[in-house]
Amino acid sequence: MAEKHYYEQKEFTEKYLIPYFKKYIPHFEKLRVLEIGCAEGGLLEEFSSLGIFAVGLEIDEKRVAIAHQKNPDLKIYVGDITDPDLTKKLSAHSEFSSGFDLIIMREVIEHLKNKKNAFYNLNYLLKENGYLFVSFPPKFSPFAGHQQIGKSFLKIIPYLHLLPKFILKPLADILRENKNYIDEIKLHFSTGCTIKYFERLSSEFGFEEVIKDLYFFRPIYNIRYGIPVIKLPDIVLFREIISFGCEALLKKVNNKQ
């Protein structure tokens, strides 16, 4: 599975993210880049191949080990973006001494319990007028519980995470799902992020929106399944329950923290 993730990261970076950043960020190739939740390092590999200075932060030591097996030269550090002492810990590494022009955080914010701490650290690590790219499935979206990690037909049931445990657990047992499957999807739902809260945090920490897109079929689905990308209108309430994904490029314009 790690091998699959690595090559998907590389392909998505090459075919979607790099053209996206070139379109919206001037002189993109000259920026200092930090990826939060870099996993197996596929994005960093692609950026480095273009001569872009790229550093990764990953909470899972096993995934960092896999990344270094793939490419020992990748600059990846183990850390938690919500750690209140993170900036002190990172200050020991020269790569973090002068801040970053672009921070990328894909499919991470929905897993964080303390999103405000994360934004505090992001704000600190990002240079003034720097860019922050964030993507995530909204909390009440069809697959926000990440039920696709299952092995039974439950993995294709939308809004499964909204059902109570007293229904889900016996059903999962009957279908011989993974032991902690229901607890996992409930955890994902509990830490999820609404678009409204994301926008509130962005404003609170002095970010302005460069562009925001909502998707029914997300760009990653095109890479993963060959499904055409379909965008959705930004309609309050509707966007929270119908959109499979929110993707935003923000610019740091005022250091409020």
CB 1 within 8 A of CB 148: no
Query: Is the same domain home to 156 and 66?
Result: no
Residue 4 pLDDT level (bands cut at 50, 70, 90): confident
For 114-155, write each residue's pLDDT tens digit.
999 999 999 999 999 999 999 999 999 999 999 999 999 999
Euclidean distance between CA atoms 123 and 200, whole angstroms: 14
Whether residues 211 and 116 fall in one domain:
yes
With respect to residue 257, please indicate whether it lies within any of the assigned structural domains: no
Q: What rounded mean pLDDT belongs to the chain? A: 95
Q: Are residues 74 and 159 in the same domain?
A: no
User: pLDDT by residue (tens digit) across 156-180?
Assistant: 999 999 999 999 999 999 999 999 9
Segment 96-114, tens digit of pLDDT: 988 999 999 999 999 999 9
Q: Are 23 and 108 in a shared domain?
A: yes
The count of domains in the chain is 2
**Per-residue pLDDT band at 236 (split at 50, 70, 90):** confident
Please report whether residue 91 resides in a domain: yes
> Do 234 and 109 reside in the same domain of the chain?
yes
> pTM of the full predicted structure?
0.95
- Dihedrals phi, psi of 110, to nearest 5 degrees: -70, -10
- Asked if residue 235 is part of any domain, the answer here is yes
Q: Is residue 109 part of a domain?
A: yes
Quick one: pLDDT at residue 2?
73
pLDDT over threshold 80, residue 254: no
Considering the domain architecture, whether residues 134 and 152 belong to the same structural domain is answered as no
Dump pLDDT digits (tens) for 19-64.
Answer: 999 999 999 999 999 999 999 999 999 999 999 999 999 999 999 9
CATH number of the domain residue 247 falls in? 3.40.50.150
Where in the sequence is the domain holding 229, given as residue range(s)?
Answer: 2-139+192-252
Examine the domain organization and report whether 73 and 198 are in the same domain: yes
Residue 76 pLDDT grade (very low, low, confident, very high; cuts 50, 70, 90): very high
DSSP string, 52-74: -EEEEEES-HHHHHHHHHH-TT-
Same domain, 49 and 101: yes
Tell me, yes or no, whether 164 lies in a domain.
Answer: yes
